Every structure is written in C-alpha cells, then in structure tokens.
Structure 1
C-alpha cells in the first residue's frame, strides 16, 4: 500500500472569518464550510463532545488544501501562535507566489507583518516569513527563473 497524497494541513483559529479573508487574499479559494460535531467526530480526534466550525481552503492548482478550524467545544488548550521559528510542533505553511513584494503589500491590508526581511536564496528563491491573522506564521516563496 503506497501513500497517495497529503490531503490537507489543519490550523486552529479563533476568528474563522478573518482567517478565511486572509487566505483568500493570499490566493486560496474557499471550497466549503461545515460544522463538525457528534460522537463519531470525537472517536476520530479523541475529543468527546467536540463542536467545530471548519472552512476548507484550496490552492489555485487544486492539489493542496488548508483546513481552518474554530473550536466551539472543547476549549482550546494551548496557544502556539507566537512561538518562534525554532519551536517544536507546527511551524508554518509555505506558499509559492508570483511576486513576494506584491503579495506582502496585499497581505499588509489584512494585518500581515514581516517577521524578518525578504531575502534571496541563491538564484532560486526570494523568501520571507510573515505573521498573518492571530499571529499565524506563513512563508512566502517566489521562484526565480
């Protein structure tokens, strides 16, 4: 049995609407929204009595998805949003964009702030990290041809 693909990356947020707006501005498409609850869901996650609002965002090429989740219950237990880039666990999601500078300018209107500088890695990429809504760490990469 072989691995077929990575289905999605999940990020827990406080404000689902703000997160959706941010990732739409980045270029992802809202595939759908749903409420997940019930005994079956708790059996999957190990969280009994879970009630979660989710939004599935899709990359323009249709190959990757980002699942945004807002837990109504149970309450969120830890907050890693402002962890530095050398912290254990979820670090960041990296997105390839046409133009880092233009994308960064657009995302500033959604509250994005650069973590460091836009840098060039060899003749391959221009890269930067930003903090998006709720302090989420996002990487932007521009391929250089």
Structure 2
C-alpha cells in the first residue's frame, strides 16, 4: 500500500481573510468550491454539511492546505489552541526569510506567540497565531546549503 499526505484541512472563521493571509505568505490558490449534499455529509460526518472551500499550495505544490468556512452547521468558536494541547497542533512552513514572513503576518494582525528562537544555529523558528487561531510555525533554515 502506498500513502502520501494530500492536504491539511482547517476550518476558518473567514475564508477570504485566511486566503489573503496565506497567499501573502506565498501560497497559491489551486481551486475553490462550495460543497454540500449527501456525499459531503458522509465524507465529513455532519448532517447538512455545507461549506465554502479553497485549496492552496506552496510554490513547489507539495504542501497543500484546504480551508473551509462552514455555512451549515454553524461553525463553533473555540479558544485559541495552545502549543501543549492534545490534537491538531500546528502547520509549519519553511521560509527563506523569517523576518519578512513575520512582517507579512503582522500586516494581518498575526503576531508571534513569544518571538523568534534560534535552534542550534540551524533554524530560526517562530510560532504565530494566524487567522481563526491557527497556529503556524515559520522555520528558516540557517545552513548555507539548506540540506538536511
């Protein structure tokens, strides 16, 4: 049996704001749709499932996220996720310039949880609360050849 990661799905409060955030960071919208019907109810496990969705990809098209904004049932607000909570933890993107990425995030009102950390002069890392409370980790590889 073969397996590969297709995408990470994230429910969001406002689809357009979240798309703007991720496209400003460099992702590309691959497609949009509005989904509903019995197939969607079965696939997701919610009766009356109806959502607007967008699929975004990193420039190499290997990393993909699917964003969905629920029309029905009404989306449930939750407290922002903390790094030590069990369950969906974070989405990580490697960037060439973490300071530039953090400026883009700040433009969207999304700030680091604490700051930028240096891991053994190999990576600079920062956790950011993104749109809808999404925890996003930004990682900058400090090695000259970026192999590893």
Shared fold per TM-score greater than 0.5: yes
Deviations 1:29-86 (A, max 9, x none): 0111100101111111111211110010011001121000001001224525x12110
User: Aligned with 1:55: secondary structure?
Assistant: strand
2:146 corresponds to: none
Contact kept, 8 Å, 2:49 with 2:73, in 1: the verdict is yes
1:126 to 124, 127, 130: 124
Contact kept, 8 Å, 2:55 with 2:65, in 1: the verdict is yes
User: Runs of 4 or more off by more than 3 Å in structure 1?
Assistant: none
Write the mapping of 1:69-108 to structure 2, written as runs, cut at 5 A.
69-77=68-76, 79-80=78-79, 82-108=80-106
- Stretches of structure 1 that go unaligned for 5 or more consecutive residues are none
1:137 corresponds to: 135
User: Aligned with 1:71: secondary structure?
Assistant: strand
Distance in 2 separating the partners of 1:84 and 1:106: 22
The alignment's TM-score, normalised by the length of structure 1, stands at 0.94
C-alpha RMSD of matched pairs (Å): 1.1
User: 1:15, CA displacement in angstroms?
Assistant: 0.4
